[in-house]
Amino acid sequence: MDRILSNQNSRVKAWAKLATKKGRQENRTYLLDGWHLVEEAIKAKAKFHAVMATEAQMAEHLNDVPHGVPAFEVSEEVAKHIAGTNTPQGIFAEISLPDKTFDPTYVHDGAWLFLDNIQDPGNVGTLVRTADAAGFRGVVLGTGTADAYSPKVVRAMQGSQFHLEILNGDLHEWTDALTANGLPVYGSQLNEAAKSYRTIQPSTQFALIVGNEGQGMAESLADKTTANLYIPIQGQAESLNVAIAGGILMFSLAAGN
């Protein structure tokens, strides 16, 4: 097992580059930070390219690393450099990005979450994690939405990317396809003229669109939905955080919750 002590090491530079979208796309890999995420990847039989850990973390987890995966012991300083934070958990993995195409015309079942121009990585990760908790089949990231495999989104997803479909797509095409296949597609709006979400019967087959933090869902999408839903606000707050609103709607709309 190699031991790496310098941030100038070529491997360290390559791992640090995975914090950028360009680096991830060039290598077709992304980085996991922390044993919980590494363990989730092992359970999901993800394709590993390397595991990197400090001496203490390596001693604790080396026997759990899949056979044949290159393992590198790194210094505390290198760990901070790879993670881009001052408090890394001390163990990382480089794994392959999903390489999947998905034609929405073949989608006839399941609950789906569509993210329209959700720009905050924490919101994107939280929404994916909540969709996982609510039993959704997949999440489709539309134009302008933060990259699902950026470090901040990966931390916020907490491994949920291994439990459901994470896809990029044109939400107009997805809305048209699912509607044609008989699945209702609901939008979310901060608009009292929209339907109260409480009027919708829970189901296992539908899609929900949540929109941009400041502008909401695009009007061109709102015009295509089966219905647009509103969450009545009882207090004096003007609006809800998009991840909170999405969570309320997901658990309300999905049958069995």
The per-residue pLDDT for range 126-181, each reduced to its tens digit, is 999 999 999 999 999 999 999 999 999 999 999 999 999 999 999 999 999 999 99
Same domain? 127 vs 246: yes
| pLDDT score of 99 | 86
Same domain? 121 vs 87: no
Average pLDDT over residues 30-54: 97
Same domain? 88 vs 116: no
Share of the chain above pLDDT 70, in %: 100
| pLDDT score of 191 | 81
Spatial CA neighbour of 224 closest among 193, 191, 181, 178: 178
Segments forming the whole domain that contains residue 44: 2-96
Q: Considering the chain, what is the average pLDDT of its residues?
A: 95
| pLDDT score of 247 | 98
**Residue 58, domain CATH:** 3.30.1330.30
Total-model pTM: 0.94
Average pLDDT over residues 238-251: 95
Q: Which residues pair with 50 in a beta bridge?
A: 94
**Residue 120, domain CATH:** 3.40.1280.10
Residue 218 has pLDDT above 90, yes or no: yes
Radius of gyration of the chain (CA): 20
pLDDT in tens, 92-117: 999 999 988 889 999 999 999 999 99
Please enumerate in sequence order all residues whose Cβ is within 8 A of that of 95, keeping only pairs 6 or more positions apart, or say none: 29, 30, 32, 41, 46, 47, 48, 49
Q: Indicate the residue among 96, 131, 159 that finishes a domain.
A: 96
Q: The tokens of 201 are what?
A: 């019967």
Same domain? 137 vs 224: yes
Same domain? 78 vs 111: no
Dihedral pair phi/psi, residue 221, rounded to 5°: -80, -40
pLDDT in tens, 205-214: 999 999 999 8
pLDDT in tens, 57-81: 999 999 999 999 999 999 999 999 9
Residue 1 has pLDDT above 80, yes or no: no
Same domain? 44 vs 86: yes
Same domain? 112 vs 92: no
Same domain? 127 vs 227: yes
Of the two residues 194 and 150, the one the predictor is more confident about is: 150
Q: Indicate the residue among 39, 66, 96 that finishes a domain.
A: 96
Query: 171 with 139: CB under 8 angstroms?
Result: no
Same domain? 150 vs 223: yes
| pLDDT score of 85 | 85
Same domain? 35 vs 123: no
Of the two residues 192 and 39, the one the predictor is more confident about is: 39
Residue 192 has pLDDT above 80, yes or no: no
Helix (H) or strand (E) segment spanning residue 36: helix 35-43
Q: Which strand ranges, in their side-by-side order, compose the sheet holding 195-196?
A: 165-168, 138-141, 111-116, 206-211, 185-188, 227-230, 195-196
- CB-based burial of residue 69 (10 Å sphere; 0-12 exposed, 13-18 middle, 19+ buried)? middle
Q: Indicate the residue among 32, 67, 96 that finishes a domain.
A: 96
Characterize 169-193 residue by residue with b for buried, 16 or more Cβ atoms within 10 angstroms of its Cβ, and e for exposed. bebbebbebbeeeebbbbbbbeeee
Residue 3 has pLDDT above 80, yes or no: yes
Q: Which residues pair with 208 in a beta bridge?
A: 113, 186
Q: The tokens of 231 are what?
A: 């969450």
Terminal alpha carbon distance of the chain: 47
| pLDDT score of 194 | 87
Same domain? 118 vs 80: no
Q: Report how many domains make up the chain.
A: 2
Share of the chain above pLDDT 90, in %: 89
Please enumerate in sequence order all residues whose Cβ is within 8 A of that of 241, keeping only pairs 6 or more positions apart, or say none: 123, 213
Same domain? 68 vs 175: no
